[in-house]
Amino acid sequence: MTTITASTTAPARARKLVGAGRRQWIGLIYVAPAVALVMVFFVIPLGMTAWMSLHNWPLMGEHAFVGLDNYGAILRDTRFWNALKFTGYYTVVVTIAIFAVAFPLAIFIEKPRPLTNLYRTFFFMPAVVGFASASLLWSWLLNVDSGLFSPAAYDLGLIDRKFNLLATFQPAFWSIIAMVVWKVAGFTMIILMTGLQSIPQDLQEAAVIDGAGPFARFRAITLPLMRRTLALALILSVAGSILAFDQFYIILRGGPRNQTLTAVYWIFNQSFVSFKLGYGAALSMVLLVILVALSLIQLWLLRKPEGLD
Amino acid sequence: MAQAISARGKLAARLARHSTGIIASVLFVAPIVWTALSAFKPAAEARLPPLPPWPTTGFSLENYATLNSFGDGLWVSAQNSIYVSVMTVLLSVIVSVLAGYGFSRFRFPFKDLFFVLILSTIMIPFQSILTPIFLVLTKLGLHNTLTGLVGVYVTLQLPFSIFMMRNAFDAVPREIEEAARMDGAGNATMLLKVMLPLVWPGVVTIALFAFLGAWNEFLAALVLMTDQSKFTLPVMMTALQSGRFGAIDWGAVQAGVTVMMVPCLILFLALQRFYIRGLMAGAVK
């Protein structure tokens, strides 16, 4: 069959088009495994979450349709609202703390100078360690008898008897903040650094010639030109914090007195400790709506500057 | 005279800069080093506060040895973690390279829809769909298996890694492909012999992120792996730290945390520029 076609140009072109068309369809085969995985482990579970949220769904036995009852129960679930409130409080505090550390670090390592790369590597090391490892590590450092902080303070004579940092809310909460800042600041620093480096050097120099001080330059040049980077770092930090679980589970087990239960922790408890799967799904839907809303805000904040596409 | 003053000013500035750098570096690295050093203490000493962090009553591997005595042993969990992480790396690289190539070079029905679908999963927190994932795995007969966990981890990597790979393929000039096609390269040869060497840095980046993601993940492993013989390191160590195997052995915690941290740190130090590249690619787009 291939031998005949070479004679005239028109059929040859037609054949080539068909061939090209066929080759294009092959693209579907290339993306099929990815699409299949996303279907099985994301789209179907997502649909099931919505479906299950309308049911009374125990782990064993039959499930029954209950309409919006689960959502009604959420409205009365003060412990969930407390968890949500705590998650919001934690998110605000930890995000401010991370930026307060990461921004100076980003400025510190922005320009290529001797040893800068080495410092950057050191600052970043906790960021590649997992949240679980970091939490286990700090649960030891924070331990009252075998840990570091309390015994060290005692040995230095700063406190007259050993103080359990994890026994009351305030010290426990701030210990977690310290741990998360230690773990995450390097990551945020790199993101902010990319933003700082994308600011044209001549703009800064022109401002210096115009007599602008460092503070004025920061406010008038650095901040506006970093809008998209700042927004990205902010969203990553906020989304990550709203979904916080590992550190509160591993270090505090939600305590003291269930005061540090986060939203994900509460959903985990309802779904996998109490096995109220339907109710857990309804709670998940609430969390999902919050996160999707946040993503939409992100898309808006990250929009390309007008006329610069 | 003026020159001397400015030279002294420069020296002072440099001194201030480096002392800031050194102090901050110590603060970030100290907890990691502290743990790694303390793990080498004999068990009796490891129970006491780590002052100083290094062993004072003799160097010992006791803490590492005892790790194997809890439950099914740390070695089983370490093997599980290695298996899950390596499989996640292999599968997510294969799936993302194929998909990245497909999205970059072909036009086919629903192309945009599929691409947006895959990328938009990044907006949905997987924490909110864990229960149905648990049920889906049960339906597939993958309940409480490491294979099921790998499937979940690979899917979590896809939005980032497919985005990375599509951009990597987009950056390869079409002329190269056309030339290879003239030379009679088929689809498989084209991808493996011609394209893959050109997008290799992207592959290393997504492999690195896949490894770190799978090695460090905690919540999904905690929920989906109910049998102790299937625990990954983070789940196993948390069980140990919660006192599930009797009184908490802090020496074992130090040793276990070190085991969990070291592979991440080595990979990061060896492949740092690929890691930063990945972060920047994510940040700039």
Position B224 in a domain: yes
Report how far residue B186's alpha carbon sits from residue B262's, in angstroms, rounded to the nearest whole number.
Answer: 42
B28 contacts A182 by C-beta, under 8 angstroms: yes
Tokens of A146: 């075998």
Of A23, A38, A245, the CB nearest to B121: A38
> Is the C-alpha dihedral spanning B122, B125, B126, B132 positive or negative?
negative
Give me the residues paired with residue B226 across strands.
Answer: none
Q: What is the CATH number of the domain that holds B213?
A: 1.10.3720.10
Which of A49, A119, A133 to probe by mutation at the B interface, max B CB count within 10 Å? A133
Q: Name the domain boundary from B64, B82, B99.
A: B64
Range of the domain at B239: 72-248
Quick one: B201 and B84 in the same domain?
Answer: yes
CA-based nearest residue in chain A for residue B92 = A34
**DSSP character for A262?**
-
Indicate the pLDDT class of residue B2, thresholds 50, 70 and 90: low
The model's pTM is: 0.90
Q: Dump pLDDT digits (tens) for B177-222.
A: 888 888 888 878 888 888 999 999 999 999 999 999 999 999 999 9
Cβ–Cβ gap A130/B223 under 8 Å: no
CA distance B4 to chain A (A): 22
| C-alpha pair distances (Å), B157 with each of A131, A198, A219, B122, B152 | 17, 27, 37, 9, 9
CA-based nearest residue in chain A for residue B162 = A34
Quick one: B23 and B141 in the same domain?
Answer: no
Cβ–Cβ gap B29/A26 under 8 Å: no
Position B277 in a domain: no
Chain A residues 229-248 within an 8 A CB cutoff of chain B: 229, 232, 239, 243, 245-246
Q: Dump pLDDT digits (tens) for B103-154.
A: 998 999 899 999 999 998 888 889 999 999 999 999 999 989 999 999 999 9
CA distance B28 to chain A (A): 6
Quick one: B47 and B168 in the same domain?
Answer: no
Which of A46, A110, A129, A289 to probe by mutation at the B interface, max B CB count within 10 Å? A129
Position B256 in a domain: no
Of B20, B98, B151, the CB nearest to A30: B98
CA distance A207 to chain B (A): 23
Chain B neighbors of A145, CB-CB under 8 A? 49
User: Any idea of the CA torsion for A80, A85, A90, A92, to the nearest 10 degrees?
Assistant: 140
The per-residue pLDDT for B283 is: 60
Position B281 in a domain: no
Quick one: B147 and B15 in the same domain?
Answer: no
Chain B neighbors of A291, CB-CB under 8 A? 123-125, 128
Q: Which residues of chain A have pLDDT under 70?
A: 1-23, 304-309
Cβ–Cβ gap B127/A108 under 8 Å: no
Q: Dump pLDDT digits (tens) for B35-46.
A: 999 999 988 888
Quick one: B122 and B102 in the same domain?
Answer: yes
Helices (H), chain A: 9-38, 44-52, 69-76, 78-110, 116-128, 131-141, 149-155, 169-197, 201-209, 214-217, 223-225, 227-242, 246-247, 263-268, 277-301
CA distance A206 to chain B (A): 23
The residue assigned the tokens 């596409």 is A309
Position B7 in a domain: yes
Report how far residue A228's alpha carbon sits from residue A59's, in angstroms, rounded to the nearest whole number.
Answer: 45
Quick one: B92 and B232 in the same domain?
Answer: yes
pLDDT for residue B239 is more than 70 = yes
Position B255 in a domain: no
Amino acid identity, position B54: W
Which is nearest to A48 in space by CA: A294, A264, A281, A306? A281
Cβ–Cβ gap A129/B101 under 8 Å: no
Chains A, B: CB contacts within 8 A come to 268
Q: Name the domain boundary from B64, B82, B102.
A: B64
CA-based nearest residue in chain A for residue B215 = A130
| C-alpha pair distances (Å), B202 with each of A64, A229, B276, B279 | 48, 22, 12, 12
CA-based nearest residue in chain A for residue B252 = A140
Q: Dump pLDDT digits (tens) for B159-175.
A: 999 999 999 999 999 88
Q: Dump pLDDT digits (tens) for B54-78.
A: 888 888 888 898 888 887 888 899 9
User: Any idea of the CA torsion for A193, A194, A200, A206, to the nearest 10 degrees?
Assistant: -20
Cβ–Cβ gap A191/B125 under 8 Å: no
Cβ–Cβ gap B279/A191 under 8 Å: yes
Which of A25, A41, A84 to probe by mutation at the B interface, max B CB count within 10 Å? A41
Quick one: B124 and B241 in the same domain?
Answer: yes
Quick one: B155 and B56 in the same domain?
Answer: no
Position B99 in a domain: yes
Quick one: B55 and B76 in the same domain?
Answer: no
Chain B neighbors of A196, CB-CB under 8 A? none
Chain B neighbors of A31, CB-CB under 8 A? 98-99, 102-103, 108, 111, 114
- Omega before residue B31 within 30° of 0, cis: no
Cβ–Cβ gap A123/B28 under 8 Å: yes
Name all contacts of A239-242 with Cβ < 8 Å and 24+ positions apart. Answer: A239/A291, A239/A294, A239/A295, A239/B125, A240/A184, A241/A87, A241/A90, A241/A91, A241/A94, A241/A95, A241/A180, A242/A87, A242/A88, A242/A91, A242/A287, A242/A290, A242/A291, A242/A294
Q: Dump pLDDT digits (tens) for A160-211.
A: 888 899 999 999 999 999 999 999 999 999 999 988 888 888 888 888 888 8
Quick one: B225 and B85 in the same domain?
Answer: yes
Residue A9: count other Cβ atoms within 10 Å of its Cβ: 8
Chain A residues 59-98 within an 8 A CB cutoff of chain B: none
Quick one: B93 and B185 in the same domain?
Answer: yes
Which of A42, A139, A141 to probe by mutation at the B interface, max B CB count within 10 Å? A42
- Compute the mean pLDDT over every residue in chain B, rounded to the nearest whole number: 90
The per-residue pLDDT for A12 is: 42
Tokens of A119: 């410092």
Chain A residues 119-158 within an 8 A CB cutoff of chain B: 119, 121-126, 128-133, 136-141, 143, 145-148, 151-152, 155
Q: Per-residue b/e over A153-172, b at no fewer than 16 CB within 10 Å?
A: ebeeeeeeeebebbeeeebb
Name all contacts of B271-274 with Cβ < 8 Å and 24+ positions apart. Answer: B271/B204, B271/B208, B272/A121, B274/B201, B274/B204, B274/B205, B274/B208
B134 contacts B68 by C-beta, under 8 angstroms: no
Position B117 in a domain: yes
**DSSP character for B123?**
G
Q: In 3-state terms, what secondary structure has residue B170?
A: helix
Report how far residue B44's alpha carbon sits from residue A146's, in angstroms, rounded to the nearest whole number.
Answer: 11
Report the domain count for chain B: 2
The residue assigned the tokens 């992100």 is A298
Quick one: B9 and B136 in the same domain?
Answer: no
Which of B112, B128, B260 to probe by mutation at the A interface, max A CB count within 10 Å? B128
User: Any idea of the CA torsion for B43, B47, B50, B53, to the nearest 10 degrees?
Assistant: 10
Which is nearest to A191 in space by CA: A302, A306, A307? A302
Q: Report residue A55: phi and psi, to 5°.
A: -125, 155
Name which of A25-39, B39-53, B90-104, B256-270 the model is least confident about: B39-53
- Stated as kind and residue range, the H or E segment containing B223 is helix B219-224
The per-residue pLDDT for A205 is: 83
CA-based nearest residue in chain B for residue A51 = B132
